A and B are shown apart, each in its own frame.
Chain A
Amino acid sequence: MAIRVNPKFIDVLGRFGAEDVQLCYQCGDCSTVCTRADELYRFPRKSMHLLQMGLEQKIETTLEPWLCYYCGQCSEQCPREADPGETMMSLRRWLISRYDFTGIARQFFRSRTTEVLAVIIIGILTGLFLLFYGFSGGNINVYDGAGAFLPSTFIHKFDLTIGAVLAFFLIINAIHMWYLVMVKGTQFEVPWWIYFKQFYQFPWHFFTQKRYSECEKKQQHSIYMPWLLHLGLMLGYVIMLVLVMVFIENLQAGPEIQWQVHIFGYLATIGLVAGTIYFIRSRLTKKYIQYKKSHGTDWMFIVLLFIIVVTGIAQHIFHRTGLLGPANITYVIHLMAVVPWLLRMPFSKWAHLVYRPLAMYLSSVRREAFARQEVVSELYPVFIK
């Protein structure tokens, strides 16, 4: 069945950041320099062409955009300045909006105003709610225990609620992604046991981002800094999320330092501070090609995270030094940034925290199933065809 081309799609993707994809004349230099592209997953060249032709139904089932970590080598090599790296990035943005069943992601990517307004409104509502709650039963000068402004038991429930909302959207969208890739987009048979056999891929890629460390530029530096800092930042907020969701009561106890949890908090903070400063600086100086073009949503993520980190540190210091009033106020500001940041996650680039390791996992599943298919068809060519 022939797929209808859609010449308008290229303009749609323009809103997601792919501004130069029409310049591509399919020489294939990008795929040649890419260490991540292979026989089964031919990108960026093929992804660029699918985009030029506007084969939406095809693109939504591909994994290729997730297999790219945007080292920028392809964009540097491109003889036509078609910016394949940024195109892959905008395809990821588009895929996020495609996996998202609510349509919110699409709105955020396409309109910066909508996103900024949503973040501000959620932030203000959170602030009002917390102030109302604090003043109704607590004392602004009490940080923890009885009569506290924001007691840790309450915050724990509050966090778990937010976490549940977050998980709800992410899980549904991830299932949608699985459906598009493995059901709609996979023409060959995938036995169920391969899913089990390859499952280790998910945590492995989640915690190491191994493929990113193997990007081309690694050869130029002994350690590939974008990978290391990206990993540090990611592990930083993942550790923080776990601490906040599970150990908030220990975390908030004090004023003595609770070493059994705080040691992890300090380590995570190092990753977060280094990561946010590095990425903000890179996006401003534009030295590396992958930071040359920043979509509005990129800034929203990193700036909110920076506010969270700074207020988090301030609140911690105020609490430990006995300035409980300021500690409570920074706590409210901290949460005013945390809540929209978290709620925005399933509808933003941040969702790649889940989609990317999932894509690695699914790509390994597909790869094994495909190899098996080839072996089977070699053995029994007649039955397969």
Chain B
Amino acid sequence: MCGTNIAKMVDVEAVAGFVSGLPNVVLARTYKYMCSNPGQEMITQDIKEFQLDRIVVAACSPNMHERTFRSALRLAGLNQYLFEMANIREQCSWVHTDIKEATEKAKALVYAAVCRVELHEPLDSVSVDMCPNVLVIGGGIAGTTAALELADAGNTVYLVEKNNYLGGNLARVDLTAPHLYSARDLLTERVTRVMDHKKIKVFFESKVSVLTGFIGNFKGTIHHLNGNSPDMAKPVEVEIGNVIVCTGYKEFDASRIVHYGYGKLPNVITSFELEKMIRTGRIETKNGKAPKYVAIIHCVGSRSQEFHTYCSRVCCMTALKYAHEIKSANPECYISDIYIDMHAFGKGHEDFYRRSSEAKTMFLMYEKDDRPVIHKASPKDDCEMLIEVNEKLSGEQIEIPADLVVLMVGMEARADSYEIARIVNISQDKDGWFIESHPKLEPVATTTDGIFIAGTCVAPKDIPDTVAQARAAAARILARIAKERIEVDALYSEVLEEKCSGCRFCNQLCPFSAIEYLEDKKQSHIISALCKGCGVCVASCPSYAIKGRHFTDQQVLAQIDGLFVI
């Protein structure tokens, strides 16, 4: 009944009455919350008492509670695959408004499930060895953190870095917001430890070119990017059990927005260029003068339909950090902060924002699709440039004097992220960020078992979140290494050797690279640990030589037949 979730739209007693009259059905019960402990106990008790050998639960989606009920079956000593769920909540009570028709549909769904479950076979899960070595791709703050976490626990880590230094984008930053810790301090300790660690092998100027295998048993090939010296030209093969991808981000190319004249006006610079000035200790215009007016423009490339629709999350606080750094370097300087919305969501951010207000930073708001326009000032003005803005909070058309304009460039997915996604077999969203297996509950896992993602290659995020993800990914892997073996779901497909002609259609189609071709037998073979049971190969096989376990043709057809009986 799911409380009233189902019962308010489906006459559950009528459904139970109908089902109990079906052939092969021993017992049909209703219960207020079947997923609750008493509900599960009821199932276990009934299995024992009535010697039941197949169970159907008509409730919510299997995504939600299939695991719950399967464990109830296991407790009663029944194979967990002799179970089927009929979804009469999401696919019935929640989406219909007519009780009579919804009840009829529920009957059909349950009848279909009963027809199907009759053909279910007991299946056994398989388990494979877990190789304790880990491959970490990317040597930024996420990669170094994850590598140290794993190596400190005694595992070998292969850290592959594209550049000839560690630290990634963070190595280009001076201070961090909002506590103004030095980024260098954060990194140096990490980098030194990684370089000295006996269990970490760092590959500089390298990339992973091939990754094969499956969870616990991957094989990776690491190529040196610059194959000039002969000993480096040779690719290195490594054996690993898990992979963490933390390849980071690249900054938005500001010259794409013509309004800002980046690349044309000499004193329009990006946040990273300002960062460089701050690190050299000289904030000045191109002709070497200390700027009197500095304007900071937010959301460059972010939060717009034209470029990236998402928020880059770190720029607001970084902009306030710049206001602080410029003001402390030159107290005479006037700073205007031209923003769309101030996103001060994190710990200590709101206080930092307030401090910036106290320092009399001038905050000006522009409308998302009405960007400021930067002009060169005339010689009689006391500034280099004038920024025209339709100020949203006052409704006034204003112009802001500026000697130096800082563009807060947003984050975007790296150009090579597609290539990486293909190699490690993970997916990307429309913006090129890697996709988590669940955005809330599985933030660092991917749809490929054994491949984890962390940091800004997943989405824009700040340092604390990046570090948290890196540690989370490392912790997930450590837990698996500790178990030494890993259980794989029994829902995989099998090649029926007597039918396979070795045409290799399925090899190309498998989205998980789970099908290998056995040269000696001239037949395809499915690696059960890698197979997700999606069924693409089953459907594609011209000689019906592949069987999707738990999704056999007979089972599916029986279910469909069941639907149409009513």
Hey, which bits of chain A sit against chain B, CB under 8 A?
1-5, 7-8, 10-11, 22-26, 45-46, 49-50, 52-55, 58, 80
Is there an interface contact between B353 and A25, defined as CB atoms closer than 8 Å? yes
Write 14 A-B pairs (CB below 8 A) sorted by A numbering: A3-B396, A4-B401, A5-B364, A5-B401, A10-B360, A25-B363, A26-B365, A26-B393, A46-B393, A53-B362, A53-B364, A54-B362, A55-B396, A80-B354
Per CB-CB distance, the 9 closest pairs between chain A and chain B, nearest first, are A7-B334, A2-B399, A22-B360, A2-B397, A49-B394, A23-B357, A26-B393, A49-B393, A4-B399
CB under 8 Å from chain A, chain B span 384-403: 386, 388, 391, 393-394, 396-401
Given A3-B397, A5-B400, A7-B334: A22 touches B391 (CB 8 Å cut-off): no
CB under 8 Å from chain A, chain B span 73-106: none
* Bound-state Cα–Cα, A4 to B334, Å: 14
Q: Which residue on chain A has the smallest CB distance to residue B390?
A: A2
Chain A residue numbers with a CB within 8 Å of B365 are 26
Interface of A is mostly: mixed
Chain A residue numbers with a CB within 8 Å of B364 are 5, 53
* Bound-state Cα–Cα, A349 to B360, Å: 27
Most interface-central of B336, B360, B364 (chain A CB within 10 A): B360
Q: How many A-B pairs with Cβ below 8 Å?
A: 66
Q: Other CB < 8 Å A-B pairs besides A4-B401, A5-B398, A7-B362, 6 of them?
A: A7-B293, A11-B360, A25-B357, A49-B394, A54-B362, A55-B394
Please encode chain B, from 342 to 373, with 1 for each CB lying within 8 Å of some chain A CB and 0 for all others: 10000000000110011011111100000000
Chain B residue numbers with a CB within 8 Å of A24 are 357
Chain B residue numbers with a CB within 8 Å of A7 are 293, 334, 336, 360, 362
* Bound-state Cα–Cα, A10 to B357, Å: 12
* Bound-state Cα–Cα, A55 to B365, Å: 15
Given A23-B354, A25-B342, A53-B364: A5 touches B336 (CB 8 Å cut-off): yes
Most interface-central of A1, A11, A25, A58 (chain B CB within 10 A): A25
Is there an interface contact between A3 and B399, defined as CB atoms closer than 8 Å? yes
> Given B353, B363, B396, which contacts A58 in the complex, CB threshold below 8 Å?
B396
Min distance, Cβ A237 to any Cβ of chain B, angstroms: 38
Min distance, Cβ A30 to any Cβ of chain B, angstroms: 13
Is there an interface contact between A3 and B360, defined as CB atoms closer than 8 Å? no
* Bound-state Cα–Cα, A23 to B401, Å: 22
* Bound-state Cα–Cα, A23 to B357, Å: 5
* Bound-state Cα–Cα, A3 to B386, Å: 11
Chain A residue numbers with a CB within 8 Å of B396 are 3, 50, 53, 55, 58
Given A23-B357, A25-B353: A2 touches B363 (CB 8 Å cut-off): no
Q: Which residue on chain A has the smallest CB distance to residue B360?
A: A22
Chain A residue numbers with a CB within 8 Å of B386 are 4
Chain B residue numbers with a CB within 8 Å of A45 are 393
Is there an interface contact between B357 and A22, defined as CB atoms closer than 8 Å? yes
> Given B358, B397, B399, which contacts A23 in the complex, CB threshold below 8 Å?
B358
* Bound-state Cα–Cα, A346 to B529, Å: 90
Chain A residue numbers with a CB within 8 Å of B357 are 22-25, 80
Chain A residue numbers with a CB within 8 Å of B334 are 7-8
* Bound-state Cα–Cα, A269 to B342, Å: 55
Chain B residue numbers with a CB within 8 Å of A5 are 336, 362, 364, 398-401
Q: Which residue on chain B has the smallest CB distance to residue A3?
A: B398
Is there an interface contact between A55 and B353, defined as CB atoms closer than 8 Å? no
Chain B residue numbers with a CB within 8 Å of A2 are 388, 397-399
* Bound-state Cα–Cα, A5 to B400, Å: 6
Is there an interface contact between A4 and B394, defined as CB atoms closer than 8 Å? no
Is there an interface contact between A1 and B397, defined as CB atoms closer than 8 Å? yes
Chain A residue numbers with a CB within 8 Å of B360 are 7, 10-11, 22
Chain B residue numbers with a CB within 8 Å of A80 are 354, 357
* Bound-state Cα–Cα, A373 to B370, Å: 28
Given A23-B354, A25-B353: A55 touches B398 (CB 8 Å cut-off): yes
Min distance, Cβ A56 to any Cβ of chain B, angstroms: 12
> Given A1, A26, A52, A58, which contacts B362 in the complex, CB threshold below 8 Å?
A52
Chain A residue numbers with a CB within 8 Å of B388 are 2
Q: Which residue on chain B has the smallest CB distance to residue A26?
A: B393
Is there an interface contact between A53 and B353, defined as CB atoms closer than 8 Å? no
CB under 8 Å from chain A, chain B span 293-347: 293, 334, 336, 342
Chain A residue numbers with a CB within 8 Å of B399 are 2-5
Q: Which residue on chain A has the smallest CB distance to residue B388?
A: A2
Chain A residue numbers with a CB within 8 Å of B391 are 53
Min distance, Cβ B351 to any Cβ of chain A, angstroms: 11
Min distance, Cβ A2 to any Cβ of chain B, angstroms: 4
* Bound-state Cα–Cα, A24 to B361, Å: 11
Chain A residue numbers with a CB within 8 Å of B363 are 25-26, 52
Chain A residue numbers with a CB within 8 Å of B398 are 2-5, 53, 55
Min distance, Cβ A163 to any Cβ of chain B, angstroms: 42
* Bound-state Cα–Cα, A267 to B362, Å: 51
Q: Which residue on chain A has the smallest CB distance to residue B383?
A: A4
Q: Which residue on chain A has the smallest CB distance to residue B362?
A: A7
Min distance, Cβ B341 to any Cβ of chain A, angstroms: 11
Q: Which residue on chain B has the smallest CB distance to residue A58?
A: B396
Chain B residue numbers with a CB within 8 Å of A50 are 394, 396
Is there an interface contact between B358 and A53, defined as CB atoms closer than 8 Å? no
Q: Which residue on chain A has the smallest CB distance to residue B361?
A: A22
* Bound-state Cα–Cα, A304 to B419, Å: 82
Min distance, Cβ B554 to any Cβ of chain A, angstroms: 64
Q: Which residue on chain B has the smallest CB distance to residue A20?
A: B358
Min distance, Cβ B244 to any Cβ of chain A, angstroms: 40
Min distance, Cβ A58 to any Cβ of chain B, angstroms: 7
* Bound-state Cα–Cα, A61 to B527, Å: 79
* Bound-state Cα–Cα, A140 to B362, Å: 64
Q: Which residue on chain B has the smallest CB distance to residue A24?
A: B357
* Bound-state Cα–Cα, A85 to B362, Å: 20
* Bound-state Cα–Cα, A242 to B273, Å: 70
Chain B residue numbers with a CB within 8 Å of A26 are 363, 365, 393
* Bound-state Cα–Cα, A54 to B336, Å: 12
Q: Which residue on chain A has the smallest CB distance to residue B399?
A: A2
* Bound-state Cα–Cα, A25 to B401, Å: 21
Chain A residue numbers with a CB within 8 Å of B394 are 46, 49-50, 53, 55
Chain B residue numbers with a CB within 8 Å of A1 are 397
* Bound-state Cα–Cα, A45 to B357, Å: 16
Chain B residue numbers with a CB within 8 Å of A58 are 396
Chain B residue numbers with a CB within 8 Å of A46 are 393-394
Most interface-central of A1, A23, A46, A52 (chain B CB within 10 A): A52
CB under 8 Å from chain A, chain B span 254-295: 293
Q: Which residue on chain B has the smallest CB distance to residue A2?
A: B399
* Bound-state Cα–Cα, A23 to B354, Å: 7
* Bound-state Cα–Cα, A217 to B358, Å: 30
Min distance, Cβ A63 to any Cβ of chain B, angstroms: 16
Min distance, Cβ A153 to any Cβ of chain B, angstroms: 57
Chain A residue numbers with a CB within 8 Å of B361 are 22
* Bound-state Cα–Cα, A237 to B208, Å: 89
Q: Which residue on chain B has the smallest CB distance to residue A4?
A: B399
Chain B residue numbers with a CB within 8 Å of A25 are 342, 353, 357, 363
Q: Which residue on chain B has the smallest CB distance to residue A1?
A: B397
* Bound-state Cα–Cα, A43 to B388, Å: 25
Min distance, Cβ B327 to any Cβ of chain A, angstroms: 12
Min distance, Cβ A1 to any Cβ of chain B, angstroms: 7
Chain A residue numbers with a CB within 8 Å of B401 are 4-5
* Bound-state Cα–Cα, A53 to B295, Å: 13
Min distance, Cβ A169 to any Cβ of chain B, angstroms: 32
* Bound-state Cα–Cα, A24 to B386, Å: 25
Chain B residue numbers with a CB within 8 Å of A54 are 362
* Bound-state Cα–Cα, A8 to B360, Å: 10
Given A5-B399, A52-B363: A22 touches B358 (CB 8 Å cut-off): yes
* Bound-state Cα–Cα, A127 to B464, Å: 74
* Bound-state Cα–Cα, A45 to B365, Å: 14
* Bound-state Cα–Cα, A50 to B398, Å: 11
Min distance, Cβ A35 to any Cβ of chain B, angstroms: 22
